């Protein structure tokens, strides 16, 4: 059983929320709703990205791809680091409302799984790159940004954002790849919800 139940968590859960219908809420309200369930993991993911060596263009590519540009920071003229800091502030507020002192990071990085994640996602990155080059949702730097976050920040976060990205851009995968993603997800402690959106991608192969 996943430590987080069956559901996604952290920044990948937030990108999923922005891919869903959210037009009746402000962006802050969407973040607050996710933070009400996942404040600590959301804060940890954002903290790791802000403290990482990843350049701004890579951070932007990660957000834009995982959300399918459904909350388009570039179009809105929002600096990606300002946005991540806003997400962190809302997460801090939620933790404070619970009456608990925020911890810096709730879990350790599974750096030992970096090569395993890279080995599984690299065969699909070219197809994802091709999908993100098509207008009107064109994004540059997708492959490099995902490889960097896996290798240099957190393979768990990188894998979760990869899953959200191939779902957003409907990148086909094989049944074997899906099974291996599930096995890798088990090692990270994922629940079923991480894989709902990619289950149908095997039918596109």
Percent of the chain with pLDDT over 90: 74
Average pLDDT score over residue span 165-184: 95
3 state DSSP class of 132? coil
Reported as a pLDDT band with limits 50, 70 and 90, residue 100 is: low
Pairwise CA distance, residues 190 & 115, whole Å: 18
* pLDDT of res. 22: 59
Percent of the chain with pLDDT over 70: 89
Higher pLDDT, 24 or 116: 116
Of 98-102, 120-124, 130-134, 198-202, give the lowest mean pLDDT range.
98-102
Nearest in space to 157 (alpha carbons), one of 11, 2, 6, 1: 11
Q: Tell me the H-state helices in 52-202.
A: 56-66, 73-76, 80-97, 114-131, 142-148, 155-168, 175-188, 196-199
* pLDDT of res. 31: 95
Reported as a pLDDT band with limits 50, 70 and 90, residue 104 is: very low
Q: What angle do CA 135, 136, 141 make, to 5 degrees?
A: 65
The counts of H helices and E strands in the chain are 10, 0
Half-sphere exposure of 67 (CA within 13 A, CB side): 19
CB atoms within 10 A of CB 123: 11
| Mean pLDDT value across the chain | 89
Average pLDDT score over residue span 108-126: 93
Q: Report domain extents, the chain.
A: 10-204
Pairwise CA distance, residues 91 & 33, whole Å: 10
């Amino acid at each position: 059983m996943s430590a987080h139940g069956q559901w996604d968590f952290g920044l990948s859960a937030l990108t999923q929320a922005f891919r869903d219908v959210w037009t009746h809420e402000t962006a802050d309200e969407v973040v607050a709703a996710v933070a009400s369930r996942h404040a600590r993991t959301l804060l940890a993911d954002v903290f790791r990205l802000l403290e990482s060596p990843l350049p701004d263009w890579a951070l932007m590519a990660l957000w834009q791809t995982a959300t399918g540009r459904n909350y388009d920071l570039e179009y809105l003229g929002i600096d990606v680091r300002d946005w991540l800091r806003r997400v962190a502030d809302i997460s801090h507020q939620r933790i404070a409302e619970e009456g608990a002192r925020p911890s810096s990071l709730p879990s350790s990085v599974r750096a030992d799984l970096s090569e395993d994640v890279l080995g599984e996602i690299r065969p699909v990155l070219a197809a994802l790159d091709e999908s993100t080059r098509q207008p009107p949702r064109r994004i540059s730097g997708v492959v490099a940004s995902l490889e960097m976050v896996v290798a240099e920040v957190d393979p768990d976060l990188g894998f979760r954002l990869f899953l959200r990205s191939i779902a957003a851009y409907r990148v086909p995968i094989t049944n074997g790849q899906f099974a291996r993603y599930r096995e890798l997800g088990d090692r990270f402690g994922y629940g079923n919800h991480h894989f709902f959106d990619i289950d149908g991608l095997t039918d596109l192969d």
